[in-house]
């Protein structure tokens, strides 16, 4: 999934946040998997299977742009860099985590798979992703849980266990810290708008709006 924005659109957003010029957006090439963007990412992932309306995608695109600019304005993006070889190895590790977030990963296992020492892998992972392996795995698990809470009727306990959490109390506490509400409240809020979303539903494809577009 990707959101594409015109330079003019981002200039308007940056101006609203007190930044000036396109150079302000070029200080970082990537935005890490930080808590500030987690709800929007989860909502977008759910939307891929739930066929959101044009209005909902538009709101997501604008919200994502504003959140990213806010992170840049507040210095919330890790701007460290790593050698290309380290970037490639960390990228493979990220793909492994994304493919099976419920696995019992350890730092030693991830480092061994990347062909690095644990120390160098940890340092490189933080430089590339802006977060630690543990934090990244946790956020991938939470995102998967958020998707399942909306898409399925499974018990919250089953969702927690399937997504790699050892007990439901830890899952509830971590989920609330990430999304600002309990898993039950998150599911209830999502279901509350389901009828409206389906009424406005349109097929997915390439969505174009003034200043940006979406492809999924």
What's the rounded Cα separation, in Å, for the pair 69 and 212?
A: 15
> Binning pLDDT at 50, 70 and 90, where does residue 166 land?
confident
Instruction: For residue 157, tell me if it sits in a domain.
Output: yes
What's the rounded Cα separation, in Å, for the pair 86 and 182?
A: 37
Residue 77 pLDDT: 52
Mean pLDDT of 20-33: 54
Stated as kind and residue range, the H or E segment containing 213 is strand 212-215
- Predicted TM-score (pTM) of the model is 0.63
User: Taking all residues of the chain, what is their mean pLDDT, rounded to a whole number?
Assistant: 76
Residue 189 pLDDT: 82
* Residue from 158, 178, 177 nearest 168 by CA: 158
Residue 170 has pLDDT above 50, yes or no: yes
Instruction: For residue 116, tell me if it sits in a domain.
Output: no
Q: pLDDT tens for residues 36-61?
A: 666 767 667 666 655 666 767 777 77
Instruction: For residue 50, tell me if it sits in a domain.
Output: yes
Mean pLDDT of 158-178: 91
Taking each helix axis from N to C end, the angle separating 107-114 and 118-129, rounded to the nearest 10 degrees, works out to 90
Instruction: For residue 111, tell me if it sits in a domain.
Output: no
Instruction: For residue 91, tell me if it sits in a domain.
Output: no
Residue 58 pLDDT: 76
What's the rounded Cα separation, in Å, for the pair 100 and 104?
A: 9
With H, G, I as helix, E, B as strand and everything else as coil, classify residue 102. coil
Q: Which of 3-7, 129-133, 191-195 has maximum average pLDDT?
A: 129-133
Residue 206 pLDDT: 47
* Residue from 74, 53, 55 nearest 63 by CA: 55
Instruction: For residue 137, tell me if it sits in a domain.
Output: yes
Residue ranges making up the domain that contains 192 = 2-80+130-201
With H, G, I as helix, E, B as strand and everything else as coil, classify residue 212. strand
CATH number, position 43: 1.10.10.60
Instruction: For residue 119, tell me if it sits in a domain.
Output: no
Instruction: For residue 42, tell me if it sits in a domain.
Output: yes
CA distances from 183 to 34, 47, 56, 80 (A): 19, 18, 22, 34
Stated as kind and residue range, the H or E segment containing 169 is helix 168-179
What's the rounded Cα separation, in Å, for the pair 85 and 137?
A: 22
What's the rounded Cα separation, in Å, for the pair 90 and 96?
A: 10
Provide the b/e sequence for 60-73 (b: ≥16 CB within 10 Å). Answer: bbbebbebbbebbe
Q: pLDDT tens for residues 83-102?
A: 888 889 999 999 999 889 88
Number of domains the chain contains = 1
Q: pLDDT tens for residues 177-211?
A: 888 889 999 888 877 655 555 555 445 444 454 45
């Amino acid at each position: 999934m990707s959101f594409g924005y015109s330079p003019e659109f981002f200039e308007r957003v940056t101006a609203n946040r007190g930044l000036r010029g396109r150079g302000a957006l070029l200080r970082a090439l990537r935005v890490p998997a930080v808590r500030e963007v987690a709800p929007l990412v989860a909502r977008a992932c759910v939307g891929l299977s739930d066929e959101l309306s044009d209005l909902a995608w538009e709101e997501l695109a604008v919200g994502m742009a504003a959140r990213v600019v806010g992170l840049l304005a507040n210095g919330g993006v890790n701007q460290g860099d790593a050698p290309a070889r380290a970037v490639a190895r960390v990228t493979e590790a990220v793909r492994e985590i994304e493919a099976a977030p419920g696995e019992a990963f350890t730092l030693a296992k991830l480092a061994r798979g990347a062909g690095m020492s644990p120390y160098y892998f940890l340092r490189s992972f933080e430089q590339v992703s802006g977060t630690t392996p543990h934090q990244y795995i946790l956020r991938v698990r939470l995102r998967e849980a958020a998707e399942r809470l909306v898409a399925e009727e499974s018990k919250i306990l089953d969702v927690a266990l399937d997504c790699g959490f050892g007990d439901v109390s830890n899952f509830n506490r971590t989920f609330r810290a990430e999304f600002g509400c309990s898993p039950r409240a998150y599911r209830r809020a999502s279901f509350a708008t389901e009828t409206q979303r389906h009424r406005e539903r349109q097929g997915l494809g390439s969505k174009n709006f003034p200043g940006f577009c979406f492809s999924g």
